Amino acid sequence: MPTCTPLTPPASRLDVAEDLLALLREADTEPRPDVQLEALTLAVAADLPVLLWGEPGIGKTAALTQLSTALGLPLTTVIASVHEPSDFSGLPVVGDDPAEQGVPMAPPDWAVRLVRAGRGLLFLDELSTAPPAVQAALLRLVLERRIGTLKLPPAVRIVAAANPRSSAADGWELSPPLANRFVHLHWAHDHEVVVRGLGGTWPRATLPRLDARKLPQAVEYARRAVCTFLTARPKLVHQLPGSETRRGGAWPSPRSWEMTLRLTAFATAAGSSRDVLSLLVRGTVGDGPGLELLASLDRLDLPDPETLLADPAGAELPDRGDLRQAVLDGVVAAVRARPEKSRWDAAWALLVRAVETGAPDLVVVPATTLASLRRADWEVPESIERLAGVVSLSRRADDAAKRAANTVKAGR
């Protein structure tokens, strides 16, 4: 009888499906400037807890997964909302003699694994759906990095994610003590990144390159920037928002200003853009104080009025109109503080230089103020004649604008 060759069993339908899924998972990465990723990576490098805010499905978890791969840190994900407070504060374990040795607080298994690994990225997901009792238990983990009797190694970084209360399942507002421990980054999708990623190429996050030669200067700059600003705005050292929603975000406190100082130093040492620094600063102290600090940074490196008065002919004035105006106002204020004929003459020379190198209308107010500082025995310098026409023309233009505005109002 002829021998029958056994037939090869047909491939399982699930095996074919797995092959297709494997092909869909294949993706490349490419270096691509991304302000959000750079801000996130910089905050992680600065060892500060980060909280990503964004609508569901916007890519927060995917960004953390990609970041952990890029930084070589194993990712440990903990869904905060499905845990009990004891999962973060530790479970009480009765020993042989509780009266003498006490009752130790045993940490959960994920914390033990992190300690054994010595490094990692702890991702606390769904933070805004964690009830207040769980949020309270998270305070020590986020600030002191302790879970029960264990302390997380220095190489473990903490990042959390949350949905706005309006789009969270049974969402809660974050408690002010917990919110003030995070750098808040509002995550938004980039259309081009999503389309290119779905096509098989996602952006690659890289650890910011800190220039070792700039470290001392970066620390000095950050300290000077924050301290100078808070000296001028002391009420912003601590300002708890009035509304519950704003208390659950970024707001100014000594703790958050310390985070701002650290992030400013890191961003300076890394040569990060102003957009990246803006995200980080506003994410620690809030939009209002953060934008004020950024505006003060522009004026931090303005030339000293005394240096300009000492050599008006060689003075270099800022090109930006608002900064040039600030410099000229500072020069006039310096003359008012110490009025001397030579300093008064030097200030007029600076105003002439400003007219020759920039918009003439910027000198109108400083010139008017400087003229009011003249003493009776001071001769008028020839340079004033060169400014008289500019000031007169500007005033006529202002008067014409006022008349036109009044005519429009009268017509109504």
Question: What pLDDT is attached to residue 391?
Answer: 54
Counting Cβ atoms within 10 Å, is residue 291 exposed (0-12), middle (13-18) or buried (19+)?
Answer: middle
Confidence band of 386 (pLDDT split at 50, 70, 90): low
Tokens of 166: 């309006």
Q: What integer best gives the mean pLDDT of the chain?
A: 83
pLDDT at 319 over 80: yes
| 281 vs 6 pLDDT, higher one | 281
Question: What pLDDT is attached to residue 371?
Answer: 84
348-363: average pLDDT: 84
- How much is the pTM? 0.74
- Give the residue extent of every domain in the chain: 31-91+105-204, 212-300, 305-411
pLDDT digits (tens, 9 = 90+) for 50-82: 999 988 888 788 788 878 887 888 999 988 888
**Cα–Cα distance for residue pair 52/60, rounded to 1 Å:** 7
Among the listed ranges 63-72, 144-153, 246-255, 377-386, which one has the minimum average pLDDT value? 377-386
For domain 31-91+105-204, give the CATH superfamily: P-loop containing nucleotide triphosphate hydrolases (3.40.50.300)
pLDDT at 242 over 50: yes
pLDDT digits (tens, 9 = 90+) for 180-228: 999 999 988 888 888 888 888 877 766 678 889 999 999 999 999 999 8
**Cα–Cα distance for residue pair 34/197, rounded to 1 Å:** 13
Residue keyed to tokens 């990712």: 75
284-291: average pLDDT: 95
